[in-house]
């Protein structure tokens, strides 16, 4: 069975109709990994032995006719999501040997279904980066063109799906880290509404922005996986009790009359022409299906980058202060307590993580707090208000996911400012806590995938998935 482009829905049918066993499926994944992983570098840890055992357990459940959507389905999980007894490194030297004593909420949810964990995927260190090049362990390569980056920070998860190693994976999205790698690798990724999925067991980066979501080969798979992982969890006080019975409930409904906003600032000079053309062609396709395109504005977009980086880094500086080498993590050396902490952090963190900690503490420090952090929070309010105004007249917003297609490995390594500004189209969604889906909408003349994003109202993933599905099924 060719796993490339295989959807979870297809594999579910194949398993239930006994065309393939869970073990065979699992072995297919490892066959593909053994063949190509050296070129891609999608994984930090492979869980081969446990996977076979879990596949056999899942098969029993399938044979009993009690399978859930993910029973026996091989999946990968980003390495910042805790898995009981399996290393969770955050792609950092700091957590190189860290074995969590518990499962993240999402890992528990997947286990309830008897899924099969294939491995933990590579990422930017502590999810800080947009290219999966800041990992302590390795760089990940884009399966479409291995000279190019896969995007980030969930680049390992997106690359694993695009390479056909797994049919779907979990990622996390603080400023675009699910959507942008999905766009670069030509797969589909969903960042749910903030509060939709529990963050319990997700290693914290920006706590008011982080959200876990699926990366898969179809819009429908993203909705189905969200059905499994969403829901309130008492261990994350920001997880919401707003329920959804089925995120795909509108997936087969036509988009006739659906109002799609096109904010002009998202199609500005910073965005490559080939990207704009592909996304506008997709807009016309949806219009052909009966959707109504609505022009609109988001004047504060240009301040999205400083607002995002100030808030995210302030939260990161606070969250990462726990890494002192005492209870877990890299233990440095030193004659006394202070020297030991400094040595642990100096050796444990990479340059990008250090830059963000420094920026966060700068923004929070006395004399700068009002000028930077508080101002960023004010801008957050403004951006939320502008989104609310757009959603008074529209149901979803259509934008490019990234200003360009995937770029060459190494071409942006030395310029953090350039790297930050490339996030301009994805960070506003996190600032406002909205759900957004990235799906492929074509490729450039060199064959590199182009992604478009559909953003919805808070807790309205169903409409986002409806619009995405309508385009996917064109």
Partner 1 sequence: MAKIEKTELDHIAELSKLSFTDEEGEKMAEQMGDIIALMDTIREFDIEYDDTKDNNQIPYARLRDDNPRESFPTEKLMQNAVTGGNEDCYVLPKMME
Interatomic CA distance for residues 192 and 202, integer angstroms: 15
Judged by CB under 8 A, does residue 381 bind partner 1?
yes
> Among the candidate windows 21-29, 175-183, 215-223, 316-324, which touches partner 1 by CB under 8 A?
316-324
Told to judge if 78 belongs to the known catalytic residues of this protein, a careful annotator would answer: yes
> Is residue 131 near partner 1 by the rule CB under 8 A?
no
Residues 196-235 that bind partner 1 (CB under 8 A): 208, 232, 234-235
From the centroid of its chain, how far is CA 333?
A: 35
The region that residue 422 occupies, defined by phi over 0 for left and psi between -120 and 50 for alpha, beta otherwise, is alpha
| Dist CA 168 CA 191 (whole Å) | 14
378 binds partner 1 (CB under 8 A): yes
Q: Which of 116, 271, 278, 307 binds partner 1 (CB under 8 A)?
A: 307
Q: How far is the CB of 190 from partner 1 (least distance, A)?
A: 19
In the region spanning residues 55 to 114, those forming contacts with partner 1, defined by CB under 8 A, are: 97-99, 101-102
446 is annotated as an active-site residue: no
Residue 295: what are its φ and ψ, rounded to 5°? -75, 145
Catalytic residue among 9, 154, 177, 453: 177
Is the peptide bond prior to 464 cis by the omega test (within 30 degrees of 0)? no
b vs e for 440-453, b when ≥16 Cβ sit within 10 Å of the residue's Cβ?
bbbebeeebbbbbb
d(CA 65, CA 62): 5
For the question of residue 318 being annotated catalytic, the response is: no
Q: Which is closer to partner 1, CB of 48 or CB of 382? A: 382
User: Angle 366-367-369 (CA atoms, 0-180°, nearest 5)?
Assistant: 75
Count CB neighbours of 292 within 10 A.
15
Of 21 and 80, the one with the shorter C-beta distance to partner 1 is 80
> Which residues inside 29-48 make contact with partner 1, applying CB under 8 A?
none
Residues 339-366: b if buried by 16+ CB within 10 A, e if exposed:
ebbebbbeebbbebbeebbebbbbbbee
Q: Of residues 410-469, which lie at the interface with partner 1 (CB under 8 A)?
A: 416-417, 420-421, 431-433, 458
The three-state DSSP-derived secondary structure of 435-449 is CEEEEEEEECCCCCE
Binding to partner 1 (CB under 8 A) within 318-337 occurs at: 321, 324, 326-329, 331, 334-337
Cβ–Cβ < 8 Å for 76, 166 = yes
Catalytic choice (78, 109, 120, 220)? 78
- Site membership for partner 1, residue 309 (CB under 8 A): yes
Between 203 and 359, CB nearer to partner 1: 359
Which string of x and - marks every residue 331-370 that binds partner 1 (by CB under 8 A)? Answer: x--xxxx-xxxx--xx--x-x--xx-xxx-xxx-x-----
Total residues at interface with partner 1 (CB under 8 A)? 74
Q: For partner 1, which stretch binds (CB under 8 A), given 66-74, 130-138, 287-295, 379-387?
A: 379-387
- Give whichever of 104 and 317 is closer to partner 1, judged by the CB atom: 317
C-beta of 25 vs 91, nearer to partner 1: 91
| C-alpha 77 chain-centroid distance | 11
Catalytic residue among 9, 21, 92, 153: 153
Active site residues: 78, 153, 177
């Amino acid at each position: 069975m060719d796993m490339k482009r295989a959807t979870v829905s297809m594999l579910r049918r194949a398993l239930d109709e006994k065309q393939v066993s869970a073990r065979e499926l699992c072995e297919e994944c490892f066959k593909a990994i053994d063949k190509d992983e050296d070129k891609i570098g999608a994984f930090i840890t492979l869980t081969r032995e446990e996977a076979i055992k879990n596949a056999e357990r899942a098969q029993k459940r399938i044979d009993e006719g009690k399978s859930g959507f993910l029973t026996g389905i091989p999946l990968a999980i980003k390495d910042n999501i805790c898995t009981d007894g399996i290393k969770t490194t955050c792609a950092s030297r700091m957590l190189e040997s860290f074995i969590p004593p518990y499962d993240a909420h999402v890992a528990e949810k997947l286990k309830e279904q008897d899924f099969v964990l294939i491995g933990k995927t590579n990422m930017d260190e502590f999810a800080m980066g947009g290219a999966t090049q800041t990992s302590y362990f390795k760089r990940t390569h884009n399966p479409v063109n291995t000279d190019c980056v896969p995007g980030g920070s969930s680049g390992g998860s997106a690359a694993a799906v695009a390479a056909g190693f797994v049919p779907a994976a979990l990622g996390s999205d603080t400023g675009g880290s699910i959507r942008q790698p999905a766009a670069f690798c030509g797969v589909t990724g969903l960042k749910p509404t903030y509060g939709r999925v529990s963050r319990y067991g997700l290693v914290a980066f920006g706590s008011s922005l982080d959200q876990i979501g699926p990366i898969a080969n179809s819009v429908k798979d993203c909705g189905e996986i969200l059905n499994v992982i969403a829901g309130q969890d008492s261990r994350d006080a920001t997880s919401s009790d707003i329920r959804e019975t089925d995120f795909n409930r509108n997936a087969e409904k036509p988009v006739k009359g659906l109002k799609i906003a096109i904010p002009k600032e998202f199609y500005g000079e910073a965005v490559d022409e080939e990207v704009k053309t592909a996304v506008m062609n997709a807009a016309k396709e949806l219009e052909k299906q009966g959707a109504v395109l609505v022009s609109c504005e988001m004047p504060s977009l240009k301040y999205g980058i400083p607002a995002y980086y100030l808030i995210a880094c302030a939260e990161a500086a606070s969250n990462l202060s726990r890494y002192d080498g005492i209870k877990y993590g890299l233990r440095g050396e030193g004659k006394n307590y202070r020297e030991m902490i400094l040595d642990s952090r100096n050796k444990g963190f990479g340059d990008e993580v250090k830059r963000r900690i420094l920026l966060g503490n700068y923004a929070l420090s006395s004399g700068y707090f009002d000028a930077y952090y508080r101002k960023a929070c004010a801008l957050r309010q403004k951006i939320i208000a502008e989104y609310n105004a757009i959603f008074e007249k529209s149901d979803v917003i259509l934008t490019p996911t990234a200003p360009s297609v995937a770029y060459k490995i190494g071409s942006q390594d030395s310029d953090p400012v350039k790297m930050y500004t490339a996030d301009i189209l994805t960070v506003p969604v996190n600032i406002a806590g909205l759900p957004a889906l990235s799906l492929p909408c074509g490729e450039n003349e060199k064959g590199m995938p182009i992604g478009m994003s559909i953003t919805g109202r808070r807790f309205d993933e169903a409409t986002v998935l409806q619009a995405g599905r309508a385009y996917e099924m064109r």
